[in-house]
Amino acid sequence: MEKRSALQKAVLISVAAMAVAFAILTFVFHRLEGVKFEEGFLRVSAQADDPAATVYAGKVQGERVKITVTDCPDEQRTEVVVQVGDRVRDECAVETGLPPIQADQLGPVEHIRITRNGQLLFEGGYTAEHDMGWYDLEGNWAPFSGLEATFRTSGENYWDSYKTSAGTILAFARGPERTARGSWMLYFTMLLFSGLLALDAAYPLALFRWQHMCDVKDPEPSDFYLEMQRAGWCIYPILLLIGYIIALRALP
C-alpha cells in the first residue's frame, strides 16, 4: 500500500467534505422556493400586516430588490410595487374585469389595463394560452407589448435605465412561476470530478502505471511529473469549490 503524504490526506478530506457539505446545501436550497427576476433570485414571503400582500425580495445585480404584490379583489385590480435600492421605485397596477377584446383569428380574450407610476403602459387583450399572446384594443396581435427595450451606455449601472416592463408587471400580478436555486446536474458533475481527483490523490502511482502500462514496461514517473501532480492537488480543490458554488447558485 502506498504511504500517503499530509497533502494527499488533506486533498481527500477536503474533497469529501465539499461533496457532503454541498449536497446538504443543495438539498436545503431546493426547499427554499423563489422566483427569477432579471437573472437574479427573489425569495417569497407574506406581509404580516397585510395578508393580501406577497413580497419577493433579494439582491440582484448588486442592489436590494423588493417587489410587493397586493390583490384588491373588490376593485378587480392588483398592485405591484417594484423597489430597487434607491434607484428605482415603480408603482404599477393591473386592472381586469373589462369587456373582452375580439382577437384576430382567436375570438374573445381577456381585456387588461396596465399602468406604471400613474401612466398607461398597456391596454388591450391578453391570453396565456399562446406565446406572446398580447393584442391591441382592435384585436391585432401585438407580440412585443410586454417587452421594453433598455439601452445602456458603457459603464452605466444596470439599474440606472431600468423600467419595469408590462410583461414583468403582469407576471408578478398573476403570480410568477416558482423555482429554486441549485442544480443537481452540476452538483453531480462536480462530484464526478471530485471522485477523479480523490483517485489521483489516493493512488497516484497506480493510476500513472495503469495509464502507461501498454506503452512502457515498468513505467516510473519523473520528478517533474510528481511536482506537477502535487501542484494539481493544491489547485484542483479550489476549482472544485468554485464549481460547487456555481452549481449551488444556478437557476434552472
pLDDT in tens, 78-118: 999 999 998 899 999 999 989 999 987 788 999 999 999 99
pLDDT value at 43 more than 70: yes
Share of residues in the chain with pLDDT > 90 (%): 49
Does 50 score more than 80 pLDDT? no
pLDDT the model gives residue 213: 64
Q: Which of 183, 166, 154 is nearest to 246 (CA)?
A: 183
Q: Say which residue the cell 488533506 belongs to.
A: 10
Residue 143 is classified by DSSP as: T
Q: Which of 46-55, 58-67, 136-145, 162-171 has the lowest mean pLDDT?
A: 46-55
Q: pLDDT: is 60 or 153 the higher one? A: 60
Q: Which residue, among 226, 244, 112, has the nearest Cα to 186 in the 3D structure?
A: 244
DSSP 220: -
Rounded mean pLDDT, 126-150: 84
Please tell me the distance from the alpha carbon of residue 192 to that of residue 90, in angstroms, as a whole number.
46
Give 61-121 as a DSSP string: TTEEEEEEEEEEGGGTEEEEEEEETTTEEEEEEEE--PPPEEETTTEEEEEEEEEETTEEE
Closest to 28 in 3D by CA, of 131, 213, 220, 180: 180
Q: What is the mean pLDDT of residues 177-202?
A: 92
pLDDT of res. 30: 85
Do the bridges between strand 88-95 and strand 77-84 make them parallel or antiparallel, or are there none, so unpaired? antiparallel
What's the mean pLDDT in 71-77?
A: 85
Q: Report residue 200's pLDDT band, with 50, 70 and 90 as the boundaries.
A: confident
The ranges assigned to domains in the chain are: 6-30+181-249, 34-174
